[in-house]
Structure 1
């Protein structure tokens, strides 16, 4: 959500810097994720000033150029070469000084530098309107009629005030803050400065010549519906001030009437719709549910099939608008419209949410209606919009206000216990301060005693319905940072806790991975169902679907960490960060029949180069072995169990291995298939590992085995085996350890050969064996006997050929 600082100051008298206001809002739960400057003209005319042409002479070496001296204030006059035919002495002009960057109406930006033009130094530029982005004319320089002193900023002459825009990460529970007024309410409580509602005292009804009747057939889905008619308007472009306000918060101006409804929505949080009154057949609005299967074309030209749950705004013959969501093709205002019917309503959130999701339509209106708007704002917003229409588009109010509100929505009544407030906050707050915060937030105290307060919470605070919610409101205004830490945070335990703390293990493994170049990522548990396109009803039934999803791209719970990790890889690769080692802990979710299952996994991703290019070596692509090394380090740290190694059989992994323990896959790793990576538009090879974190934590042991260092030397012997390609190193290790338990200390493969020097289907392993007797020095006889036994077992069990 974007909030304009200048707009905000129209509602509340702020004199603090925007950065300080941003910090206050963040501390109160409206997290400001960004603060950017919005310039009405790109660049804000920085470095561009008012100047006066003192002299103007012909350039000595060019007939069409003029050599001028221009006064720009306290500095000495500047010598500027100008090619405009209308430049003359005595003119007030726009001067771009050295170092200024110009953003022309067409073409690329460029910086003004001191230069020589036909051999004469030029120390700036006298500008035409297209050269500074204020228009398209290039007929000549701009000649000003102004009393502003030389050197005054050009932005001052054009009244180009820059704005600062807050980007607020609005949480779903803060529907009350989804407007400039909502933010002003919080600032009132934080700064003790009252906010001001727009003044609508000038609103008046001119006549009742064009009444539009309203019939609400579903008061549950539409508790309140109001409207009025304005005749004699002229639809045209909006004035600059209105365009600038909308553009500052990321909206594109359309026309004056539509822009006004958008303006009121973002100012007061009340969505509105303007109908062309001449298209309301029968001069009657009917609010009712749609007939199942009705075809309806929305403003974007898409034909949609309505459902019986869709609340519609209709005339006497046909539906015109999906209530609170999107207008119909023929309901909106056009350049030929002269009479409008302004709608302002309160819709039941669940009804709007259902229609928005069914049709896959997300608008600024549906965003607010489906979270809950303020039923008491309906008439104020209607009058505010009507006054703006009359001011900007002309016309007169030609009907009485129709306000269908049979059962007014009452404030929530909540009782809070003061002692419990302090206990849950963790610090005693004076009762007077608690009451002050509550009333500053617009909540009324209806009863009070020494122990309790009974409160009336206004309907616009849709998420404040319990004592805990009130306590949260108090705490966020009082300030989380104002809660003192207890001086006695340390404690000791007499009892042992055999079960490991998962968070401590995470921290330990995370530090280890970070030390080897991995970076942690955290991704969304919600993902796109299109990633899981396996055919068959069984695969589809295993998806955990979100009933009330806000985005079609986030409609299921993830079954794997693969796709969310690939999205992070894509984001970085697209920004030329291609050498990546990432890890993430996250839950995955599946459904089996009526049962839901979740599991915590640790995922590792490796792509790009494992070793960067230096003067000593060339860059090296990441391989399976960099990933396998990281996985083995994790397993070594977490488990002492003997793991069984098998070829991987995983939907998202190929060319890899899996570690099993007690018939449970503990870790699986290999390469992601190209078809999987391409779903997320990742074209680089990606090595991926998936560890069953829940199992590893459950079977974790921190028992260490220590022994005295042996006093007798180690002996190394090498052996070359020719074996079948399908024989794994793990099989060789298993045979070796089973054959020689006492003397064999280490076994390693240091070379692998596959080529034309050995038979097809074969490979050669070069192995090293470290032998040691911890009681005595090994003799050649014992060493040879041990190696012979190992070779015999390799020949017998693997069909190996010993290369001598």
Structure 2
């Protein structure tokens, strides 16, 4: 939000420099993000002086140029070549001296230099008004009043506005400060804390009066919940034209382009008082009636930007007896605004329901100065005052007569808030006991009325425009920000407390696994929990009736809460793949959301996605594409780190996978992982294989609590490895070998590993070769060859008898 310092000082007569004022505003919670200089004439006419043309003769080498001698008041006339047809001897003219910087209409800088024009020296430039930024005329040079003294700086004779503009990072709760008046009100409270009791100057509307009642327009509010207060008045016989310089300077300083005197007044009052206004061309109001109502869903309406919009059944509209004229509080219609031909207007000032305005603005993708204020909550008590203020300004600038009474429909007054402030609670929250008189002085400076004072606290009435101050804690915050956070003392003693930390707490376990995955080359991602309802069509296991829908979605792509973690992960892979980042290892801790007959639930998950190569390509390492077994290793390492090892493996039943496995404890599924179906990947325009694991994090957290950690010494005796090359039927799985081996030797067999698989030439049909290693170790003594041979013979016998295996 931009605040003009010159404009601010119309409300509070302060002689501080802008930097000092900005520091106080920041301390008050209106953080100044920057201060910019504004000049109504860029460059401020620095280097431009009043000169007198002593002589003017035809250029010897050019028919349209003249050679002049100009007195600049420094005792030595200079020669200037000029092409203006109206230059003549004896004139007082503005002269840009050597080194002066001027700016064209686009703000591009150009410097006046000494030079020769057709062989004649020129030491400066006699300027036209457009060259100085004082107007648009370029018919000839400016001829000044003959009373001006030669050598006078042009900046002293022209009305140039020099201003400082604050850029305030306004927080959403500070709706009361969304204007120069509101900022001045806060500044006054801050100054009182520094013993500067300055008067807050309020624009007077005492001269408002109704000249006639010849142009009455009736008002009917059909939905008082959406429009609690609505005021209007008509002004006739106006003349729409360009605004005066002072008004244009005020608007330009805060980045608003002037349009005409009527529209500019509505913008001026909006930024002055924080009350949005709208002026309708009364000629286009049919039936001499304004209706504030909603219209049928699907009604089309063309706004001022010439975009045809389809209205929602909840959009509040300003209509006449026949048609819509304006989206209330958001944007006007293309055919009802003020133009150069307008001679009478209906001026609107209202208080609209903030929630309704916000929904409408978001629904149509509009963000205007008016909607910005309405949706945060404006002051409902200045509606009529702001209308009178604008009407008087329009009369002053455009003429005309007030041609109707002010109609003010306010059936149910918005009440102020009642709060009781406890002195004890104030001390607890502030951390320091403030004098009661200081507290009362601060509250009074903030327009908070003190109803009663007791030994324990104060009964307060909070004005309705402070819709962010409705609780005791809010009042204490107001006291503290005005008193000054920097004024609160603190002790040199540092107090600390040690809390009991549960090692199985979600965040601790989550950090442990995050560190492990990052060490394995993964990057953490965070996706939006809002997604498109179209994704449920990618899986039969996702049902539309289980969707949790947004009442007011930002867009159709963010209309429901996600039922699966996969799709948001695929969106990230698609985004990165389209930008040539095809080797990805991602993980995310997040939630899925479901609506059932029994109620709504949310489940926490850990999702892992892998695609492309396992590691970056280098000169000494071949590229190694990620595959199912690599994902299985990652999944196993996560579960092992959590102490979950005795798991049941079963084929996957999730139709999002082309193939995969499900690991569980008993009937509780811990993780599904595998290769994502190509049909799902095609929906995201992903052409390469994607591996995905979905951990049920809530179930994992429940089961790890029952893990009993056993600590044992590292064995002092060596391991022994023996290998078998087994010829097996194609139908035999490694899991069967693993199970038989464990059953054969439970004590000394520590590890079983499949390190080679061969199928092809030199093997009988329907056969395959597995190379399996067996690790043996006795933790109490060294194994002998006799023990080892005995175990290996038993393994061989069981493989042959149970699997039909042969040693190769």
Secondary structure in 1 aligned to 2:698?
A: helix
What per-residue deviation string (whole Å, max 9, x for no partner) do you get for residues 393-420 of structure 1? 6766554433333443331122222223
Tell me the secondary structure at the aligned position of residue 425 of structure 2.
helix
Contact between 2:39 and 2:160, CA under 8 Å: does it hold in 1? no
* TM-score normalised according to structure 2 size: 0.71
CA distance in 1: counterparts of 2:190 and 2:806, whole angstroms:
82
Partner of 1:591: 595
Instruction: Say which of 775, 779, 793 aligns to 2:780.
Output: 775
Instruction: Give the SS at the match of 1:320.
Output: strand
Deviation at 1:596, TM superposition (A): 0.7
270, 278, 282: which one aligns with 1:273: 278
Cα distance change of structure 1 residues 456 and 611 upon mapping to structure 2, 3 Å threshold: same
Q: 1:640 corresponds to which residue?
A: 644
Quote how far apart the aligned CAs of 1:434 are: 3.2
Q: Deviations over 1:683-702 (max 9, x none)?
A: 88665443222222222246
Q: Deviations over 1:687-725 (max 9, x none)?
A: 544322222222224643222222221122344567788
Partner of 1:501: 505
1:215 to 219, 244, 253: 219
Tell me how far 1:543 sits from its aligned partner.
1.4
SS in 2 for 1:509: helix
C-alpha contact 1:714 1:772 (8 A) present in aligned 2: yes
Q: Tell me: CA distance 1:668–1:439, structure 2 relative to 1, closer, same or farther (3 Å).
A: farther
Deviation at 1:333, TM superposition (A): 3.5
Deviates more, 1:539-548 or 1:554-563: 554-563
Asked if 2 retains the 8 angstrom alpha-carbon contact of 1:205 and 1:396, the reply is no
Tell me how far apart the structure 2 counterparts of residues 589 and 266 of structure 1 sit (CA, whole Å): 43
Instruction: Assess if the C-alpha contact under 8 Å between 2:175 and 2:378 holds in 1.
Output: yes
Q: 1:466 aligns with which of 471, 476, 487?
A: 471
Count of residue pairs brought into register by the alignment: 736
Structure 1 gap segments, 5+ residues each: 53-83, 113-125
- Verify the 8 A CA contact 2:540 2:655 in the aligned structure 1: no
Partner of 1:691: 695
Instruction: Work out the CA distance in 2 between the residues paired with 1:248 and 1:621.
Output: 60
From the superposition, tell whether residues 449 and 399 of structure 1 become closer, same or farther in structure 2 (CA, over 3 Å).
same
CA distance 1:263–1:694, shift in 2 (3 Å): farther
* Greater shift in the superposed pair: 268-277 or 193-202: 193-202
Question: In structure 2, do the counterparts of structure 1 residues 319 and 166 end up closer, same or farther at CA, with 3 Å as the change threshold?
Answer: same
RMSD: 5.8
Residue 442 (structure 1) shift: 3.0
Cα distance in 2 for residues equivalent to 1:781 and 1:408? 99
Cα deviation code 1:664-699 (max 9, x no counterpart): 232334455677677778888665443222222222
**Structure 1 residues 357 and 707, CA, compared in 2 at 3 Å: closer, same or farther?**
same
2:323 is aligned to: 318
Contact kept, 8 Å, 2:639 with 2:645, in 1: the verdict is no
Structure 1 residues 240-249 or 691-700, which shifts more? 240-249
Distance 2:217 2:417 in 1: 32
Residue 668 (str. 1) matches residue 672 (str. 2)? yes
Map of 1:152-231 to 2, 5 A cutoff?
165-168=167-170, 170-171=171-172, 173-178=173-178, 189=189, 192=192, 199-201=203-205, 204-205=208-209, 207-208=211-212, 211-218=215-222, 219-231=224-236
Alignment map for 1:9-48 (pairs within 5 Å): 25=26
**In the alignment, structure 1 residue 403 sits paired with structure 2 residue 403:** no
| Contact 1:36–1:166 (8 Å) recurs in 2 | no
Task: Tell whether the 8 Å contact from 1:671 to 1:685 is kept in structure 2 after alignment.
Answer: yes
Q: Residues 24 and 165 from structure 1, CA distance in 2 versus in 1: closer, same or farther, beyond 3 angstroms? A: closer
Contact 2:539–2:656, Cα closer than 8 Å, also in 1? no
Shift of 1:454: 0.9
User: Measured at CA, do residues 686 and 477 of structure 1 come closer, stay the same or move farther in structure 2, by a change above 3 Å?
Assistant: farther
Higher deviation after alignment, 317-326 or 456-465: 317-326
Deviation (angstroms), 1:235 = 5.6
Shift of the alpha carbon at 1:555? 3.6
Pick aligned residue for 1:715 from 692, 714, 720: 720
Match of 2:461 in 1: 456
Residue 295 (1) aligns with residue 299 (2): yes
Cα deviation 1:218-245 (Å, max 9, x = unaligned): 4444332112334455667888998898
* Residues 1:303 and 1:644: Cα distance change in structure 2 (over 3 Å): same
CA distance in 1, matches of 2:544, 2:166: 47
Indicate the residue corresponding to 1:56 in structure 2. Answer: none
CA contact (8 A) 1:35 1:167 kept: no
Cα distance in 1 for partners of 2:760, 2:239 equals 84
> C-alpha distance in 2, partners of 1:386/1:158?
28
Deviation at 1:274, TM superposition (A): 2.1
1:337-383: per-residue Cα shift (whole Å, max 9, x none)? 34322211012345545666777866554454344321023134334
Structure 2: unaligned runs, 5 residues or longer: 50-81, 85-94, 112-124
Report the Cα distance in structure 1 between the residues aligned to 2:294 and 2:558, rounded to whole angstroms. Answer: 28
The one of 549, 553, 556 equivalent to 2:560 is: 556
Query: C-alpha deviations, 1:143-168, integer Å up to 9, x for none?
Result: 9999999xx99xx9998978664555
Change (3 A) 1:51 1:241: closer
Q: Using the alignment, how far apart are the partners of 1:687 and 1:252 within structure 2?
A: 55
1:344 to 333, 349, 357: 349
1:741 and 2:746 correspond: yes
Question: Any conservation in 2 of the 1:669–1:690 contact (CA below 8 Å)?
Answer: yes
Q: 1:159 to 1:187 in 2, by over 3 A?
A: closer
| Aligned residues of 2:295 and 2:317 also touching (Cα < 8 A) | no
2:89 counterpart residue number: none
Deviates more, 1:614-623 or 1:500-509: 614-623
Radius of gyration: which is bigger? Answer: 2
**In structure 1, C-alpha distance between the alignment counterparts of 2:764 and 2:247, rounded to whole Å:** 81
Distance (Å, rounded) in 1 between the aligned partners of 2:202 and 2:796? 92
Distance of 1:422 and 1:450 partners within structure 2: 14
Note the C-alpha offset of 1:387.
Answer: 5.6
Q: CA deviation at 1:592?
A: 0.4
Aligned partners of 1:324 and 1:366 also within 8 Å = yes
1:412 matches 2:417: yes
Q: Distance in 2 between matches of 1:572 and 1:368?
A: 39
